[in-house]
Amino acid sequence: MARAAVPDSAAVEDDNFRENYLFGDWMGARASLWEHGVKPKFLLISDAYGNPYGGQEQGFTSYSMFCADLKLDTETLVNFPGGEFHIGFAVNFGTQLSQDVVGNVFPIQSSDVAPPGPRLTDLSYTQSLLDNKVSLRAGRVSIDSLYGEEFAASAYFRSFTSVAFNAIPFAIFYNSPGAFGYPATTWGARAKVAPVEQFYAMAGIYNGDPEVGLANRYGLDFTFNGPPFGISEIGWRRNQAAGDTGLPGNLKLGGFVLGGSVPEYDSNDSSDGRFGVYAVADQALVRFAEPSSNRHLGVFGSLVVAPNEAVSPMPYYFSSGLVAYGPMECRPKDFVAFGLAYGAYSSQLRSEQSAQQSAGAPVLPQLYELTVELSYGIQVLPGLIIQPGAQMLVNPGGNPGTPSALALGVNAVVSF
């Protein structure tokens, strides 16, 4: 997903436009628009990846996502402080290497977050209150965000190509099909309270009807059939207040629940809803230069547990890794990312698959899937990042009968 978002408080400055966008300030037009509260952003994410061996078969594909977003600042436009309208559009195109070639579950390409086709994304309003200590958001939204952060996020996740890491822990979506992640959106509302700079709490409730996100609905299915999906999170921000000089870190703890009756694996019974808990943590370990440069080495980790194995396909998931930002003084905007993500499949799902296999169905019991990524992000130009990388995919699709695969390719992110 995207890695270059301009801070709103400084976005009207020409230097920041030139530093973060390939086309700068559009010969002054962008700066003029932002000064009047009209904030357009355009992003292209493209992944050219292939697997020379392993997987269900070998091949090479290219998959991309183009995003167009417009934010309207109500304070500048109509003198109403703290408000922001957001409307967005996205289109995915190309061939998905994971689904069409390799057969693994953790998508290899960072743009592989939705099937091919165009869709309306955000259509929402956000209101900040009490000197930004309270934030309310409602409309067509998702639990993650293309720019900035919502639930279960870490800035370190954005440094990876594999969707196993980027942009929030994959298992939240996999275990709760009513949890919508960008570019899919649904009706919902979110409230966030940050009484002090070091602490916040937030919660959201959404229409958890998975059919709303189908590709042939184009993001225009405005029905509200449920069931409800709810998520909440508390977070601690270490050494991030004004004047702090220590190494920054984050700890986030949350839980989620999807309502509705769900058939159980290997049983004729049903469970009422699916639920889980998660933890996300990151910590800067050492700085390579002054804090304002953001050149540092950091570590991250995430854990998702959806304990009801009767209805949760991947009840245990974790990821961890290291990211070095600006590892070389001569390349201060480059970064190196190394990470591992693991997902274990439900034992009851495996029992059902074993029974189907015994009955002659072409099904193999799913055990676990593991992804290891090593990649290097290069800022070729302001607003243009090229990231060659390699991913080792163990047990693609959790299937021990599918040979482990090596995926090699290049991810490109262009901010216009």
pLDDT digits (tens, 9 = 90+) for 80-139: 999 999 999 999 999 999 999 999 999 999 999 999 999 999 999 999 999 999 999 999
Q: Tokens for 254?
A: 């949350």
Residue 47 lies in a domain: yes
Question: What pLDDT sits at residue 361?
Answer: 84
Both tokens of 359, joined, read 């009955």
How many domains is the chain partitioned into structurally? 1
Question: Has residue 154 been placed in a domain?
Answer: yes
Q: What is the DSSP string of 197-259?
A: TTEEEEEEEEE--GGGG-GGGTT--------EEEEEEEEEEES-STT--SPPEEEEEEEEEEE
In a domain, 267, yes or no: yes
The predicted structure's pLDDT at residue 2: 41
Q: How many helices (H) and strands (E) does the chain have?
A: 6, 16
Residue ranges of the chain with pLDDT lower than 70? 1-14
Q: 122-144, pLDDT tens digit by residue?
A: 999 999 999 999 999 999 999 99
172, part of any domain: yes
DSSP string, 44-59: EEEEEEEEEE-SSS-E
Q: What are phi and psi of 76, to 5 degrees?
A: -75, -40
Cis peptide before 167 (omega within 30 of 0): yes
Query: What is the domain-level CATH number for residue 48?
Result: 2.40.160.180
In this prediction, residue 14 carries a pLDDT of 66
What's the angle, vertex CA 125, arms to CA 119 and CA 127, rounded to 5?
150
The per-residue pLDDT for 43 is 97
Q: Could you tell me the CA-to-CA distances from 6 to 19, 39, 116, 272, 321 in Å, in that order?
A: 9, 11, 28, 43, 25
Q: Is 114 part of any domain?
A: yes
| Whole-angstrom distance, CA of residue 352 vs CA of residue 343 | 18
SS3 call for 267: coil
Q: Is residue 119 part of a domain?
A: yes
Quick check: is 294 in a domain?
A: yes
User: Kind and range of the H or E element at 109?
Assistant: none
What pLDDT shows up at residue 13?
Answer: 54
Domain span at residue 320 reads 8-415
Q: Tell me if 3 is assigned to some domain.
A: no
